[in-house]
Amino acid sequence: MDFLSAIILGTVQGLTEFLPISSSGHLVLARLWLPATPYDLAFDALLHFATAAAIIIYFRTDFWRLLQSSWNLLQRREVARLQRAYIYALILGTIPAVLLGLLLEREMETIFRNPALVAGTLIAGSAVMYSAERFARKEQELSAKSGFRIGLFQSLALIPGMSRSGMAISGGLFFGLSREEAARFAFMLGAPLLIGAGAKKALDLFWGGALFAEFLPIALGMSAAFITGLFAIHFLLRFLRTNTLGIFILYRLALAAVVLLIL
């Protein structure tokens, strides 16, 4: 892979992983104009790994607090009710996407990487996001139960074009979180999933020898994804304090129309 393609893909991943417009869908579309390689999906997973690192760095204080609370839970010490609920919500919310990801891995590498499918799911995801804005519940506290339900929404993003952050934020709105809190939970919920997928594909590249043969473009792509990912997290959290998902819904619909016209 050439250096420019790696940087372009990393930048696309970093920006679109956190903005609710689908990183996997944009990567599929970007590859229509970039040279193909035999390890495209593995490279994409490593880019996800880089954006997971951006989540951990950005929310390092929150994760450290949750780790301390988790340790206290294991030691059967007292833990604040909201912290306990957040831990259980993250654990249960991770399960649906992990299980479905393992079951659908073959489809994710083949039929899911289809531009026409991406166009359709961009539209379908827009409908979910619009419904979440239209029928959002009155604000409630995050619970283990709502965390699991948000995880079900997140698992829809296994299909490129749906958007992991978009679906998880929509799930948060449906189950009573504010926009900013829904985005914060969506980002933190994605970290274990992105780390797991990235680590698995890194091992595949390692055993296949590509990790060393393509080390520099991989490093450049991951660096671009990490830096732009930090920017995108910060931007969206601030944006959703005073704005709806409307602009992203319009962008998704416009992109779907362009893709369908090109095809």
Query: How far, in Å, CA of 173 to CA of 180, rounded?
Result: 10
Q: What pLDDT shows up at residue 32? A: 81
* Contact between 44 and 10 (Cβ < 8 Å): no
Query: How far, in Å, CA of 153 to CA of 193, rounded?
Result: 14
Q: What pLDDT shows up at residue 66? A: 94
Q: How far is CA 207 from CA 37, 38, 44, 204, 220, in A?
A: 17, 14, 17, 5, 21
Amino acid at 241: R
Tens of pLDDT along 126-147?
A: 999 999 999 988 888 899 999 9
Cα Rg of the chain, angstroms: 18
Q: What pLDDT shows up at residue 216? A: 85
Q: What pLDDT shows up at residue 104? A: 80
Among 145, 151, 143, residue whose Cα is nearest residue 186: 151
Q: What pLDDT shows up at residue 242? A: 94
Q: How far is CA 33 from CA 28, 41, 113, in A?
A: 10, 16, 14
Among 99, 57, 44, 10, residue whose Cα is nearest residue 188: 57
Mean pLDDT of 3-14: 92
Mean pLDDT of 92-117: 83
Taking the complete model, does pTM exceed 0.75, yes or no? yes
Amino acid at 183: A
Look at the block and give the residue holding tokens 């930090």: 230
* Contact between 233 and 23 (Cβ < 8 Å): no
Instruction: Quote the mean pLDDT of the chain.
Output: 89
pLDDT at 217 over 90: no
Please state which of the ranges 11-15, 47-51, 185-189, 220-224 shows the lowest mean pLDDT.
Answer: 47-51
Residue 168's Cβ-side half-sphere holds a number of Cα atoms within 13 Å equal to 34
Q: How far is CA 108 from CA 98, 111, 193, 219, in A?
A: 13, 7, 15, 24
